Structure 1
Amino acid sequence: MDPPSRLRRGHQPARTRGRRHRWLRTGVREGSGQPRRDTRLRDLGAFLSGDTAHAYDAPRTLSRCAEGTPDITSAHDGTVELTGHYRAECDMDRQLRSAFRDFTTGLAEPGRRLDRALESWGTGGNIGDSSLPELGGRSLVLIEGQRWRDDFGSRRAYAYDPVTGRADRLTPCTHGGSWASANPSATLLIDPDGHPALLVSLFVPREGAAPGESGQLVYWREL
């Protein structure tokens, strides 16, 4: 069984806390040249020390090339549900939903409803990384979409409502006026002064960045 260090940090490993103080972590393994999902269950002590209790290497079923960037959405009664994206026909990234039970069996299916919501904005390139924050008591999906194939400067961030099936484009403002954004993520947390705050991060591709603004971008707002 591979140690936790085999999870490739560049592919946004996710974690969540389950019942009986157990922890789940999912990420992308490296070594084969093609990413695949890897999910692990640990108690808190094992999680902090890096000892794996159970592991399940989910086989690729939607693409022979790649399935990855998993994000855990639910863990209950031995079943773990997650989202991610896959290389559709080994050509372009599209969304997936997956579930596995008891770390032995799993099933993945295309997330076509989310794909269609972004395609309605003219997204003809990749539909990639997403995160699932809960803001104001509502579950949302923050996701990136690429308007034109192979054009990193056309990457944009969207907010998707899973109840209505509608996606709205986000227009983050920077000092220099960068226009591209990718890998959106938002987290509600308690700041060092004990106040609730919202932390938002984006990646600004150099092809769509103002001078000096390419790279990771972080927004912080006290609520």
Structure 2
Amino acid sequence: MRKTSFSFLILALICFMSVNPALAGDSSGGQEIQLRETEKSESSQGSMNVDFSGIGGKIGLVDPDENIKSTVGFGLHVDLGTITPTLRLEGNLDYWSKSQDSRHRNFPCERYNRDLSFGLTVKHALAAEGSIIPYAGGGFGFHLVREEREFSRDAPYDDWEKSGVHPGLHGIGGVEGRFSPQMRGDVEIRYTINDPSNFGIFFGVMYSLKR
């Protein structure tokens, strides 16, 4: 899945840049001027400006540990403003689930796993200017996890399930650019330390509520 994920990353980057040629290096035109004016306006408000600034969503591939097969992940995120000019705060709501055939002590069973999490992420911009900005960061959250096992009738085990709420940490890295003064997108790699831990790659968009 790791090779598939990085192939998906390259494909997503190509698609991301082809949607808007300005992101691939064309710095001329009214859109670029509007973008620079927006960035100057945001930076002039002070080094710390924490508020509800935008809302968006994301979709991607998740590769959990513990022999769980890859699956699709979804998420909602909100822009909570800036801590410093290069540090941005976001709130996250993420979800993935997977149902698959498995085995427990050589007996076949149906296995179901789910992870619903909410938390905060801090993104650090690694460049001050540019059409495409690389970033890295991390955060923490709480995960509502659930696992179920359903056995066949001839198995000497009863069906069981377990669930709980666990704290988790995550690290991220990616690139971000703008489609328009109000809309930006990103391609992001994320590793989450939890039970089970997981590796994911996502494409997301964020709509700015500020004009």
TM-score bracket for this pair, using the shorter chain length: under 0.3
More strand, by proportion: 2
TM-score by length of 1: 0.23
Larger radius of gyration: 2
Which structure has more RCO (C-alpha within 8 Å, separation ≥ 6)?
Answer: 2
More helix, by proportion: 2
